[in-house]
Structure 1
Amino acid sequence: MNLTPLMKAAMIAVRDCMGAQPGENALVVTDTGKLAIAESFLYAFHSLGIDATLMVMTPRDHHAQEPPSEVRAAMLSSDIALLVTTKSLTHTHARVDATNQGVRIASLPGITEDIMTIGAMTADYQKISELSWKLTKLMESTQEVEITTELGTHLVMSLKGRKPGIPPDDGIYREKGRWGNLPAGEAYIAPVEESVNGVAVIDGSQSPLGLLSTPIRITIQDGKAIKFEGGTEATQFERHLQSLNDPNAYWVAELGIGTNEKARVTGNILEDEKAFRTIHIAFGMNTDMGGKIESKTHDDGIVTNPTVKFDGKIIMEHGNFVI
């Protein structure tokens, strides 16, 4: 792969988003599926005079699977860690423990050359930060959320006693212990698990399946997915959850709202969940964001063009922000 087209985005990530400085110890974690892209970040660190190491592992089997012990140890001993992987390490204990030790972390699961050259990595991160913080402040004072779509989504959930992700996933990770995704762009929260009821019609994409040809209609009762309807992809997603042999994989884990104007819904969940005009509902692990569910996975489903109400007040109408 010719790394030259990637270097601008790699420098944005290393210099602007992470605020890397000479004298810091940086780590790039990757796997054999993302090795070439990971090299661009390594070279970006080196071009700034920063000591950086590249560690390559076997791709994980699913999102939220822990990395090898050697990778975990390296993460814990770094100032900055970029996780350039096929499957997400975001919702792992290794990431949480490194964050708690003050490591600045950006997770880039499924990152592609396309995202780095024309997609979400090209956005104005100051604008992303402003909108993400605005939504986060609203979440802090919200008791109940209602989400509807013309395709049949109708969900109600409580945020009472829960705190949104602070700071939000805005792409600015310069302070000790800051972490999030790159590309960035979402405000998110773990709702009160047992409070989530209704139907979610996932019509954009669903992790780990990718872009959907037919919407997946998921019935949720007291916080757990109990029924999957739709086409072949609904069956595939249900079988994916069954294959984990993990009853906690069915719990609603997260409500997220996309805040990146450049992000597109392409089937790559890293970019999809940041897209304007979308919210996402995740199933599985959420202890890393203030919830109480331990799980082997964390699978996001994208809902497009929603109407979202915070305590009865519309903050998004058919996908358009009205705040």
Structure 2
Amino acid sequence: MSQLDTFLPIVNNLMKQNVNAAGKEQVVIVADLEKEAIGRLMFDSLCKLGYQTDFAVMQTRRRSGEEPPPTIAAIMKAAQICFCICEHSLTHTNARNEASKVGTKVITMPGITMDMFTEGAMQADYAKVEQLTSAFTEKLTNGDTIKIYTGPENEYLLQINIANQMGISSPGIFNGCGASGNLPSGESYIAPILEKSVGEILIDGSIAGIGKVSEPVLLKVRDGRLESASGENGQKLLNLLGDENGRLLAEFGIGTNDKARVTGNILEDEKAYGTIHVALGSNVTFGGTIDAGVHLDCVTLHPTVWIDDELVEFDR
């Protein structure tokens, strides 16, 4: 069986289950040089399924959150459905945000692999993911403070201020015009308030742009700003973030996809049920005020999490 034959039923199901496509929409595939082959396979599948589809390739961005060229931004706005199949994420960019504002459904698939299409998070029951994501998002919206305990003895505490902030659902189902998010998906997240966000968190899963960590990285935060990150991978993270607003606390998220695996690919890692992630950098596209040109997620595998006085329960 050819790759196209394998892809066709997956893409057909994706368009019906996740994108709720009628079949007459104008679709564009935005790929970069790193993911051009997968982008082309997605394009060929959509064409064979009868969708009006265009294909645009750009140079690979240097990091997640970096803006695409103006020509690509314009293409995204012109389509009704846009798939971003790139090495680095366009989710938290102004280009994605502006496309969503004019009604484009923007589905971002940063770092997607062939394996991820056929295994793992893409195989989830997305009705179940949607229900679970909605429940966690409601807790975030109604909360004032998140407390995250990490380490073998829960010795590290990061306290995050979320008072009066709105939780965001990313269940991987895109129904209305302007809907956007990742595929594969499954996360509830929120933009923190920098003031009174303070403490330490042990990152023992993975870091965007780095992969699975060989040893845990301890992040120290004061008033929403990353002050230090331990070890060799911590230094790599600091270098990727730069010295300015990239080091600001941008996001707290909860994974809600029980089929997602932690493999070192942040697209799937941050969706894994039972994990949480914090991100640094931009959040202006989902209720924050930070526009840093970078957004990097850091995944913790088995945290103890409280939202106000309620323990977040994970059925592991």
**TM superposition score normalised by structure 1:** 0.93
For 2:12 and 2:120, how far apart are their aligned partners in 1?
15
The structural deviation recorded for 1:321 is 4.4
1:73-92 → structure 2 map (5 Å cutoff): 73-92=74-93
What do the CA deviations read for 1:38-59 (whole angstroms, capped 9, x no partner)?
Answer: 1232233223322010101111
Partner of 1:232: 232
1:206-285 → structure 2 map (5 Å cutoff): 206-229=207-230, 231-242=231-242, 246-285=243-282
Pair 1:157 & 2:154 matched: no
Pair 1:191 & 2:192 matched: yes
What do the CA deviations read for 1:198-239 (whole angstroms, capped 9, x no partner)?
Answer: 00111000111111001110110010010122x321222222
Over 3 Å counting, the alpha-carbon distance change for 1:254 and 1:321 in structure 2 is farther
Bigger drift between 218-227 and 148-157 goes to: 148-157
Bigger drift between 58-67 and 42-51 goes to: 42-51
Partner of 2:310: 313
3-state SS of paired residue (2:195) = helix
CA contact (8 A) 2:148 2:157 kept: yes
**Which residue identity does 2:236 align to in structure 1?**
Q
CA contact (8 A) 2:151 2:202 kept: no
The structural deviation recorded for 1:18 is 1.0
Over 3 Å counting, the alpha-carbon distance change for 1:304 and 1:153 in structure 2 is farther
**Which residue identity does 2:123 align to in structure 1?**
T
What do the CA deviations read for 1:88-145 (whole angstroms, capped 9, x no partner)?
Answer: 1111100000001111111000000111111111111011000000111111211111
CA contact (8 A) 2:238 2:247 kept: no
For 2:95 and 2:65, how far apart are their aligned partners in 1?
10
Identity %: 35
3-state SS of paired residue (1:194) = strand
1:1-323 → structure 2 map (5 Å cutoff): 2-151=3-152, 152-165=155-168, 168-229=169-230, 231-242=231-242, 246-316=243-313, 320-321=314-315
The structural deviation recorded for 1:181 is 0.2
What do the CA deviations read for 1:144-199 (whole angstroms, capped 9, x no partner)?
Answer: 1111123443111121111111xx11011021111100001000000112221100
For 1:175 and 1:241, how far apart are their aligned partners in 2?
33
In structure 2, runs of 5+ residues without a counterpart are: none
**Which residue identity does 1:128 align to in structure 2?**
V
3-state SS of paired residue (2:170) = coil
For 1:197 and 1:110, how far apart are their aligned partners in 2?
31
What do the CA deviations read for 1:236-288 (whole angstroms, capped 9, x no partner)?
Answer: 2222223xxx5101101000000001101110000000001200000000011
What do the CA deviations read for 1:46-96 (whole angstroms, capped 9, x no partner)?
Answer: 233220101011111111111111111111111000000011111110000
For 1:305 and 1:153, how far apart are their aligned partners in 2?
13
3-state SS of paired residue (1:214) = coil
CA contact (8 A) 1:84 1:108 kept: yes
Bigger drift between 41-50 and 79-88 goes to: 41-50
The structural deviation recorded for 1:23 is 2.5
**Which residue identity does 1:52 align to in structure 2?**
T
